[in-house]
Structure formats: structure tokens, C-alpha cells
Amino acid sequence: MQYWNPTYECMHREEMTRVQTARLIDTVKRVYHNVPYYREKMQKAGIEPGDINSLEDLKKLPFTYKQDLRDTYPYGLFAAPLSEIVRIHASSGTTGKQTVVGYTRKDIDTWAEVAARTLVSAGADRNSFIQVAYGYGLFTGGLGIHYGAERLGASVIPISGGNTKRQIQIMKDFGTTVLACTPSYALYMAEEMEEMGIKKEDLKLKAGVFGAEPWSENMRKEIEERFGILAIDIYGLSEVIGPGVATECPCKCGLHIQEDHFIPEIIDPVTEEVLPEGSKGELVFTTVTKEGLPLLRYRTRDISSLTYEKCECGRTSVRMSKVSGRSDDMLIIRGVNVFPSQVESVLLEFGETAPHYLMIVDRIDNLDVLEIWVEVNQAMFSDQVKRIEDVENKIRKAIEVTLGINAKVKLVEPKTIERNEGKAKRVIDKRKI
């Protein structure tokens, strides 16, 4: 099986434009009438649904930012009544609050559809045994791939993350043929496998779909080598739907965007001007089939470029290049989105002004580690060791709760952290991806 849905994946450009235009018009009407936040935004810009009649009119619409989701937390941007929302997911917000997304039954169906396309591009079919080692829970990774795999008719092993020795044993015993997890976790598993004395020949693994964090061609080669598989890059974000937004095909020359559902644009992150095909800039998506949380021109902050050339695989869907960076300061640590401002909001709870801090990210034995240096200020300091250790523990726990990952907290002396004129340098990323 080469394509899950050739009708859309190999559609002629004119036909695709017609499909997208009709869906865009419907979506704009839907958000204008159901979402007060969007209606106000559009009215302020002097736009009505009647003004949107073609894809060229997309530029008339206002952008949507992560901040908008924060300002309407939790359900303010939903375009369907809550009784029709059958699933809620969340991902990291820029401060303590999460970014909340909601799905109607039809949205879950759409999601399974695009996730199935992702799996089929990696060569999966109904006979596959798909081990889903992305986290299950509020994060969209696990359940997203799960529903795609079930839609495909494959046998799903919903193992989620962690317990690596067991993962590997199961991979061997259950005959996993497709692995879904973050690329760094795959490398971590490869190490563990070696220690357990299990060779790639002992496994039935054929392919893997890896995403949720940036990874290099070198990492891909290593994964393919150590597991003896085809390793595919996949892309998604919860705001747009979750995993399934775009996927590489065996050509490995860009990720096909499921553009019958998500219309992409590339903009200049500073001027917000739309850039021509081939230019590098920030990826923006307009969802045209979602009912629960349709988004107009959502700024992803991911840097990429687009090409409309037909791919060797036969798919005509627009391709995005592998994400090469961010236009904001977000980090991805162990597959989790982390914003330095989250750390700041935690530290603000420990005094009137937030103490100075520095985040040091590194990758040791293929696992991302985060250490946060916090300068001791007068408010925090006490003559008693246990009081200081208490503060250290409280900070560490609060960070774990807010960020969703654990970090080592190191208290350092005042003025240890370099001061800068202008914006403080809050992150040192030692990882060489």
C-alpha cells in the first residue's frame, strides 16, 4: 500500500485549490459566527466572511498566536458547544497555564485519517504491529498515532514512554514492525538494546515514525543503522491537530503536508508578510476541516520553507522542509515543549522579583537533561542548611509540575549569572543535534 488516501494525497493542484477554497470559506463562517474572539478580531480588521472567496484572500485574515489560546484559556476559542467536544488535550503554555485544544467526534475522525496517512508513508499497513512509545495522556503524541494505527487496521501496542528494558523486550517478543517515538528515545533504546544483548536481527522492525523534536540527518542514519529500518520524520502540533500534520515519504526530501485539512503559509516572522515558494520563514497553518478548535493562520514559530513540486513518490501535496529552528525561545526537551518564561513564572513565586536564572540543556547518553541555575537572593537565604535545601526542593517540584519534565536545580551565588544589556541570555543549549 503506497498511499492511504490517494484521492487527496495525489490530487491535481486545481482540484486541491477548489477543495481548500470551499473548506476555507466554511471555516471562516464557522469561526466568525461561533467564536466571539475571532469575530472581534475580524471586525477590528474590517473583515467579514463574505470577503473571503479564494485562497488569495487568506492574507486578509488575522493571525492567531499562542497568546490568544492563553488569553482564552481554557475553552474560549472553541467553535463547537462543549457538549460536542469529545476529547481535550493540552500542551505546554508559555507560562504556568497549558495550551488547551478540543476535538469533536468528526475531528477525532480527521485526526485518525491524517495519522493513518503518516503511518502508511512509512510503509505501515493493516498487518503492521505498531509500538506507540509516544506518551499517552494530555499530550497528543500517543493517542494521535494510536488512533491513526487503529484506523489503518494495524495491531497497536499502546506502550507509551518509559520502562525501556520492557519496551525492548516487547519489541522483540510481540514482533513490532513499526516504532513510533521521539528520535532521541529511539537512540536511547538502541543503547539499551545493546546492553541487553539484543541485535537488530532479533527484531522484526521495518520502519519508524519519529518526531516531536528536532533531529539531524546524522541521527537518522544512526537510527536506521542500529535498528535496520526506514526512519521517517513526522511533524505535528496540538494546536493544529497533533501528529499527522505532515510526514516524510520514503524519498526523505521534505514532509508532505495534509493540505486538504491544513493550509500552510510561510511568513517573515518580523513583518508577518507572506513569502514566496521556496523562501525560509515561519510556518503558519489554517485548519479548514476542524470543528472543535478551527484556527486561522496560526503562527507555529517553526522555521521551514515550502515547495509545490511533485514528489518522486507520486504525491502532489505541498512539502515543508525539515524544521530548522524557532522564531521564539521555545526549547524541546525530551519531546516536551519548554519555554524559559515558564521557569520565570515559577521563580516569581519565591520572592517579589524573580531571581536570576540560567537553563542549561545537554544530551547525555542520548537523553536530554535540564539543569537550572538559580541565584540565591536575600529572600531565599537562611542560616540553616535544611531551609535552603527546602527552597531548592520546592523550586524543583514546582518546575516539574509547570514544565512537565524534571530538572536539576542548582543554587548559585549572587551575580554568578552573566548580566546582559537588553534581553538576558536565559538558555545555554549544549546539545549538538
Partner 1 sequence: MLVKQISVFLENKSGRLAEVTKVLADNNINISALSIADTTDFGILRIIVNNPDKAEKVLKDNDFAVSSTEVIAIAVPDQPGGLEKALRVLNEESIGIEYMYAFVGKTEDEALVILRIEALEEAADKLVKNGVKVLSADNVYKL
Chain residues that interact with partner 1, rule: CB under 8 A: 376-378, 380-385, 388-389, 392, 410-416
List the grid coordinates of 292: 472543535
Distance in Å, CB of 99 to partner 1, minimum? 34
Angle at 176 between CA 235 and CA 248, to 5 degrees: 25
Q: How far apart are CA 406 and CA 387, in angstroms?
A: 21
Distance in Å, CB of 354 to partner 1, minimum? 16
Using DSSP, state whether 285 is helix, strand or coil.
strand
Distance in Å, CB of 242 to partner 1, minimum? 39
Positions of E strands within 211-339: 230-237, 242-248, 255-257, 262-267, 281-287, 298-304, 306-307, 319-320, 325-326, 331-333, 336-338
Distance in Å, CB of 382 to partner 1, minimum? 7
List the grid coordinates of 232: 521517517
Positions of E strands within 95-229: 99-103, 129-132, 155-157, 178-181, 207-210
Q: Which is nearer to partner 1, 201 or 413 (CB)?
A: 413
Q: Which is nearer to partner 1, 106 or 396 (CB)?
A: 396
Distance in Å, CB of 368 to partner 1, minimum? 21
Distance in Å, CB of 336 to partner 1, minimum? 25
Q: Which amino acid would we find at residue 48?
A: E
Q: Which is nearer to partner 1, 169 or 406 (CB)?
A: 406
Q: Which is nearer to partner 1, 164 or 416 (CB)?
A: 416
Listed residue (144, 138, 377, 122) closest to 250, CA to CA: 122
Q: Which is nearer to partner 1, 127 or 382 (CB)?
A: 382
Residue with cell 484556527: 295
From residue 300, how far is each of 63, 294, 341 by CA, in Å?
11, 14, 17
Burial of 221 (0-12, 13-18, 19+ CB in 10 A): exposed
Q: How far apart are CA 360 and CA 357, in angstroms?
A: 10
Q: What radius of gyration do the chain's Cα atoms show?
A: 23
Distance in Å, CB of 350 to partner 1, minimum? 14
* Residue 46, number of CB atoms within 10 A of its CB: 8
Q: How far apart are CA 141 and CA 150, in angstroms?
A: 15
For residue 293, give every residue at least 6 positions away whose Cβ sits within 8 Å of its Cβ, in sequence order, or none: 77, 78, 79, 101, 102, 103, 107, 239, 287
Q: Which is nearer to partner 1, 413 or 421 (CB)?
A: 413
Distance in Å, CB of 371 to partner 1, minimum? 11
Q: Which is nearer to partner 1, 147 or 373 (CB)?
A: 373
Q: Which is nearer to partner 1, 387 or 430 (CB)?
A: 387
In the DSSP assignment, the letter for residue 361 is E
Question: Is the preceding peptide bond at 74 cis, omega within 30 degrees of 0?
Answer: yes
Distance in Å, CB of 285 to partner 1, minimum? 44
Q: Which is nearer to partner 1, 17 or 416 (CB)?
A: 416
Distance in Å, CB of 391 to partner 1, minimum? 11
Q: Which is nearer to partner 1, 162 or 414 (CB)?
A: 414
